[in-house]
Amino acid sequence: MPDSSSAARCMDQFNEILTVNEKLNELKDLDAILDRVLSECRRLTRADAGTIYLLDEDKLKFSYVHNDSFLKVGETNKDIYANFSIPINDASIVGYVAGRGEALNIEDVYDMPPDSPVTFNPSFDKKTGYHTSSMLTVPIKTSQGKVSGIIQLINAKNDAGKSIPFSLDSQNMLPLFANTASVAIERAIMTRELILRMMQMAELRDPSETGPHVTRVGTYCAEIYHKYALFKGIQEAERKKTKDLIRVASMLHDVGKVGIADKILKKPAKLDNEEFAQMQFHTVLGAKLFTNSTSELDAMSGRIALGHHEKWSGRGYPGKISGLMGEVKAMGQPLVGEQIPLEARICALADVFDALGSRRSYKPPWPDEKIIGLIREERGQHFDPDVVDAFLDIFEVITAIRDKYTEDLPEDEKPNPQDEAAKQAAEAQDKERGKDHGSE
């Protein structure tokens, strides 16, 4: 029978888990939830590092990572956006745990007994010089008891910072937290899938509005904002809250395109003045979807939809728009500089970068050096100078995001370099996107 101190400790841990889960329910974005889950798991167990894998069909997909020995507090590392999966089998520790649905607590991965059912792969340690010692791997289970992911924690620490085995309390408590957190993770996955379904409507109208495109833009915006906020000294609580919102809200930046005619959306050439005037209204149409906003997420989504084609110098559109509930017949007075909402200024840069760097059936991608040259040229003109600086400072992270969320066109949809007319039309469209207000 447990003593009173043990029972009290268990109750404290249970109450702490409930409190953390309430906080998780305030978050909207999957990555923000995974970050918080991993942070709390590591705090509760005093782990130096950890990784979350989520089930993707019949494999475990690498989804988030922390490592205090390699990552600066508050900074983003490109390794967070690594893109690989692990089979569910006994060839790896996480695959073994996922297959059996039971936690595994290893005191020292370099000193396991000969009859151990698992083996440790030391390749990461050899590559980086890190020394893995203790390891606690637990399944994340849905309310139906199905494994939906894995949390793997590495190197519990004592007060002196020395690696020690994970305690029995940690082994008993962590699965409980993982299973309660699974509800927030499932909700975030459903939210992301719902947004991608919404954007499929736009994709049917405009082939450039693909799922990977909006996912990349959302993730670019989150990381650009994060670096911008660090530059500006914005407090951690506000930084995390806004980063959570902007990742989701910016995925909906072009949702208003569902109201634009096909002959304009799908024209493989520069729009004439009348067509361009009609295209401008996709910003207003998108913002109208969020006019009855009941949440911070709705409000931010509306600001981004309306303002992601504004320009720092005041040459963008649609300008100051009032009366969104009614019919908007004309563009408003130009917005300049900080009159443009920050999240819209960030999305403006993220959207242009991705549009220019993406291969489409009607165009090849611009090389990075050409895009960066344009962005530097437009610093203080099209783009907020501080947003440009934040973007350039994390360019390694930006390219890691791009590599993770790629899209492949069938061979018969790739640009034909021999088709000079199509090539010139695509170049004209890209120039519009990049400098001359563009049809995006």
What tens digit of pLDDT does each residue of 361-411 get?
667 889 999 999 999 999 999 999 999 999 999 999 999 999 999 876 554
Residue 421 — very low, low, confident or very high, per pLDDT cuts 50/70/90?
Answer: very low
Backbone angles phi, psi at 26, to 5 degrees: -85, -15
CA distance 49 to 69: 8
In 3-state terms, what secondary structure has residue 152? strand
> By CB neighbour count within 10 A (0-12 exposed, 13-18 middle, 19+ buried), where does 256 fall?
buried
CA distance 210 to 39: 32
CA distance 369 to 192: 32
- pLDDT tens digit string along 17-70? 666 667 787 888 999 999 999 999 999 899 999 999 999 988 999 999 998 887
Mean pLDDT, the chain, whole residue set: 86
Residue with tokens 């970050």: 35
> By CB neighbour count within 10 A (0-12 exposed, 13-18 middle, 19+ buried), where does 33 fall?
buried
CA distance 95 to 85: 10
CA distance 93 to 37: 20
- Return the CATH number of the domain spanning residue range 4-187: 3.30.450.40
In 3-state terms, what secondary structure has residue 147? strand
**Taking the CB of residue 95, how many other CB atoms lie within 10 A of it?**
19
CA distance 305 to 256: 7
- pLDDT tens digit string along 78-123? 888 989 999 999 999 999 999 999 999 999 999 999 889 999 999 9
Q: What is the pLDDT of residue 327?
A: 86
| Per-residue tokens: 160 | 């002196």
Residue 281 — very low, low, confident or very high, per pLDDT cuts 50/70/90?
Answer: very high
Query: What is the percent of the chain where pLDDT is above 90?
Result: 60
Q: What is the pLDDT of residue 422?
A: 45
- Return the CATH number of the domain spanning residue range 206-434: 1.10.3210.10
* List of long-range contacts for 87-91, beta carbons under 8 Å, 24+ apart: 87/58, 87/59, 87/60, 88/58, 88/59, 88/60, 90/117, 90/118
Q: Return the amino acid letter for 336.
A: V
Bridge-based pairing state of the strands 163-164 and 85-87: unpaired
**Residues whose CB is less than 8 angstroms from the CB of residue 146 and which lie 6 or more positions away in sequence, other chains included:** none
- Residue 383 is classified by DSSP as B
Q: Would 4-187 and 206-434 be classified into the same CATH topology? A: no
Calculate mean pLDDT across residues 247-271: 87
Q: How far is CA 339 from CA 193, 238, 253, 307, 344, in A?
A: 33, 20, 18, 10, 10
- Residue 338 is classified by DSSP as G
CA distance 100 to 351: 43
Residue 329 — very low, low, confident or very high, per pLDDT cuts 50/70/90?
Answer: confident
CA distance 151 to 149: 7
| Domain ranges within the chain, ordered by starting residue | 4-187, 206-434
Q: What is the pLDDT of residue 332?
A: 92
**Residues whose CB is less than 8 angstroms from the CB of residue 260 and which lie 6 or more positions away in sequence, other chains included:** 205, 206, 278, 279, 281, 282, 285
305, pLDDT greater than 90: yes
